[in-house]
Amino acid sequence: MLIRTPDPETADGVVADFYRSDLDDDGFVFSHTRAMAVNPEALAAFETLVHAIVPSIGVRTYELVTLAAAGALRSPHCLLAHGRKALRTGALDEDQLEGVAYEGDHPELSDADRAVMRFARRVSTEPTAMTDADAQELRDAGFDDRQIVDITLAAAARNYFSRTLQALAVPVETDLVGLSPRLRDALLSPTRG
């Protein structure tokens, strides 16, 4: 990574808070946190956006949107981080996560889950081709207007974050506690669905 990032040893203020969160959760500061901490206001704004999205759609739907968008973008940073989050929060179990990673599906996913993931992949790969029919599929799956907007925001936000990390060539930490080698490999070899 070419950019110089704030040093964890000397970080203060909000940057130190971001770093402390990583240290408390994982014992080290992630490369993606360090890269985004170069502009801590933007990182804080991103986190505020996520916190505004999740309440209407729930953690499970948010993680499914995130994994589908990250998979479509082939974003190892976000696939690994959110694969772990999906497990930690109970949004998905290991078998479901592996199916979502390799196949973009799992027999235990609901029709609503599948609609959300299709929508997130489309936002990430063909946003200019989307029509009212795409949102109607979410409505038919039981989502209301606020949830449809928040699902769209979640997918678009993942595009922003993933593409930023990819464009800056941020290193990927692949040896993460909480992910078996089998799940890590599944997440690093995502399907396009």
Output the 3-class SS for 106-157. Answer: CCCCCHHHHHHHHHHHHHHHCHHHCCHHHHHHHHHCCCCHHHHHHHHHHHHH
Confidence check: pLDDT of 188 > 70: yes
pLDDT (tens digit per residue) in 125-179: 999 999 999 999 999 999 999 999 999 999 999 999 999 999 999 999 877 767 7
Decide if 2 is inside a domain.
Answer: no
Confidence check: pLDDT of 187 > 90: no
Decide if 8 is inside a domain.
Answer: no
Residue among 32, 37, 29 nearest 13 (CA): 37
Q: What is the pTM of this model?
A: 0.91
pLDDT (tens digit per residue) in 43-57: 999 999 999 999 999
pLDDT at 45: 96
Range of the domain at 59: 45-188
The CATH number linked to 143 is: 1.20.1290.10
Decide if 30 is inside a domain.
Answer: no
pLDDT at 104: 82
Number of domains in the chain: 1
pLDDT (tens digit per residue) in 12-52: 999 999 999 999 988 889 999 999 999 999 999 999 999 99
Tokens of 108: 């235990």
Q: Give the pLDDT mean for 56-64.
A: 97
Decide if 193 is inside a domain.
Answer: no
Tokens of 181: 């080698």
pLDDT (tens digit per residue) in 86-119: 999 999 999 999 888 877 889 999 999 999 999 9
Confidence check: pLDDT of 66 > 50: yes
Decide if 32 is inside a domain.
Answer: no
Residue among 85, 84, 91 nearest 108 (CA): 91
pLDDT at 125: 96
pLDDT at 191: 54
